Amino acid sequence: MIIEYKVPETVQDWRISLKFTKDISTRNFVIDKAMVTLPKAPATNDSFCLRPRPYNKNLKANTTLRLEFSCYKAKLYEAAPNAFFVLHSDSAMCEDFDLPAPVPGPAVPLETATATVIRQWPPNNFKMKFELQVINSVRGGWRIALQFSKPVAEISNLNTAKFLSKSKDGLTYYIENFPGQIQKANLKQCEKIQIEFSGKLASSSDKPLTAQAVFERKEPQYTEVNPQGTCPTKSS
């Protein structure tokens, strides 16, 4: 990350209040051109106070203070936070500030896929698969609602996802990326995921089994919107 601030007038001393949109890890959090102190409330790791090095304590008017730093997310598989800062001129203290209200982005298109039955065998067992393509990027993980045409007693053998919960009537199952693992938690624009699973119907029925997969982001506020609004399709 980079902090850049153009100094409007001469500054004899300064502090910078740096605030993230979520907690970060304090492991190896250093800045080469500033010194970092932890916030007064140690229970949270989202706010930090930066103070100058001896050589950049005094800043001339119309110069630019540039600070570059790296830090670690508190949880590896989550989306990286955004950060905001306030520079306090001629001050020896940092003050807390409110983060700006999130700006509503464009409506995220509904990303769905139809699951296909691969195999069925007695008494009520089945296997299905689906391929789902996201339009916008995914940062911080996802959930998928599997909406079945008839009640399902259980699902198992998920290849790239984890069972989360189900509705009482057995018509909707919720699955998610493996928590604690960054693999497949973050997806690029237009990336596809393929999921297979086995299941067992709650009872026998002549009605055909169908299922719709509906995609949902765990942290939609960190989505990078696809400017095209759609994904290219292969020409036939």
Burial code of 45-64, b = ≥16 C-beta within 10 A, e = fewer?
bbbbbbbbeeeeeebeeeee
Q: What is the pLDDT of residue 69?
A: 87
Q: What is the pLDDT of residue 174?
A: 98
Angle at 81 between CA 79 and CA 84, to 5 degrees: 165
Q: Return the domain boundaries, the chain.
A: 13-89, 112-222
| First vs last C-alpha separation in the chain | 43
Give the span between the Cα atoms of 131 and 180, in whole angstroms. 23
- Cα 175 versus chain centre, distance: 16
For the chain, state the CA radius of gyration: 25
Q: What is the pLDDT of residue 236?
A: 38
Look up tokens 């984890």; give the residue: 162
Q: What is the pLDDT of residue 113?
A: 97
Query: What distances in angstroms separate CA 2 from CA 33, 69, 71, one per listed residue?
Result: 12, 6, 11
List the CATH code of the domain at 112-222. Answer: 2.60.40.290
Q: What is the pLDDT of residue 42?
A: 55
Tell if the pTM clears 0.85, that is, is over it: no
Q: What is the pLDDT of residue 193?
A: 93
Give the span between the Cα atoms of 170 and 168, in whole angstroms. 5
Across the strands, what pairs with 228? none
The size of the chain, in residues, is: 236
Q: What is the pLDDT along the chain (236 residues), one digit of tens a residue?
A: 899 999 999 999 999 999 999 888 877 777 889 998 865 555 568 888 999 999 999 999 999 999 998 888 887 778 888 999 999 998 778 888 999 887 766 667 789 999 999 999 999 999 999 999 999 999 889 999 999 999 999 999 998 899 999 999 999 999 999 876 666 788 999 999 999 999 999 988 788 899 999 999 998 888 888 888 888 876 53
Query: Which among 150, 131, 160, 143 is positioned nearest to 199, based on CA atoms?
Result: 150
